[in-house]
């Protein structure tokens, strides 16, 4: 049976001969009761403190568990983001490489087409020059052909002047045709140098000038 401070204060002892003095016993019991009451109060305070600390410990453990779950989730999300970034970067690089190859292929095709068109234009221009040269030669031959021993009248002299002027004009035209041929030959000599350049600037601007 547990004793409370109140039990100690009201404890009664049987009287006997030659026993203790009741007053001293009461005083001692009062002191014991006070000490016991103080001890009980301290014990209750300690129990409340322990209970509060247990509650705080449980809260800290719950917080720690939540932090651990958060850290694990953050690491998982971070790894997923890194992996996704690597996949996207690889895809972007593959697409860029494919587009670069496609652009180079298109540029090469355009350059080949431009060169073919330039060759066609040069050939057509050569044919035109050849035809023009033949026409001019025939025209000069026709101007040079005249009846022998023919007496020149005033009209014939005027005609001779016209013929001389026409000859000069035809000669000048022939010189221009020959100059165009020389220029075309020089462009043809320079063409391999320009074709060695990288096909990143589109077609050459030379054909458009012709």
Across the 210 residues of the chain, what is the mean pLDDT of every consecutive 10-residue run?
Answer: 66 66 78 84 93 93 94 94 94 94 94 90 83 77 60 54 72 74 68 44 43
Q: Which residues contact 191 (CB under 8 A, 6 or more apart)?
A: 115, 118
Q: How many Cβ atoms are within 10 Å of 180's Cβ, its own excluded?
A: 16
Give the whole-angstrom CA distance, residue 158 versus residue 141.
19
In this prediction, residue 167 carries a pLDDT of 72
Q: Distance between CA 46 and CA 60 in Å, rounded?
A: 20
pLDDT at 196: 40
The pLDDT value recorded for residue 84 is 94
Q: Two tokens at 103?
A: 């652009």
Residue 130 has a pLDDT of: 82
Please give the Cα distance from 121 to 117 (Å, whole number): 6
pLDDT value at position 178? 73
Give the other-Cβ count within 10 Å of 33's Cβ: 19
pLDDT at 129: 78
Q: Which contacts of 6-9 are long-range, i.e. CB under 8 A and separated by 24 or more positions?
A: 6/33, 8/32, 8/33, 8/36, 9/33
- Please work out, in degrees rounded to the nearest 5, the angle formed at the alpha carbon of residue 191 by the alpha carbons of 99 and 125: 110
Q: Are 177 and 129 in contact (CB under 8 A)?
A: yes
Q: Please state, in angstroms and rounded to a whole number, the distance separating the CA atoms of residues 170 and 2.
A: 147
């Amino acid at each position: 049976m547990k004793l409370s401070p109140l039990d100690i204060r009201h404890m009664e002892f049987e009287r006997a001969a030659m026993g203790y003095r009741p007053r001293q016993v009461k005083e001692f019991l009062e002191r014991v009761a006070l000490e016991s009451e103080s001890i009980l109060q301290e014990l209750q305070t300690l129990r409340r403190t322990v209970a509060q600390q247990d509650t705080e410990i449980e809260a800290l453990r719950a917080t720690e568990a939540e932090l651990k779950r958060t850290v694990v989730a953050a690491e998982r999300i971070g790894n997923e983001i890194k992996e996704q970034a690597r996949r996207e970067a690889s895809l972007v690089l593959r697409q860029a490489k494919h587009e670069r190859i496609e652009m180079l292929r298109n540029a090469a095709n355009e350059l080949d087409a431009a060169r073919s068109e330039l060759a066609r234009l040069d050939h057509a221009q050569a044919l035109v020059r050849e035809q023009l040269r033949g026409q001019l030669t025939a025209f000069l031959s026709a101007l040079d052909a005249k009846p022998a021993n023919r007496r020149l009248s005033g009209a014939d002299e005027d005609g001779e002047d016209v013929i001389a002027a026409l000859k000069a004009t035809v000669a000048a035209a022939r010189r221009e045709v020959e100059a165009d041929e020389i220029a075309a030959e020089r462009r043809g000599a320079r063409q391999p140098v320009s074709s060695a350049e990288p096909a990143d600037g589109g077609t050459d601007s030379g054909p458009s000038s012709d």
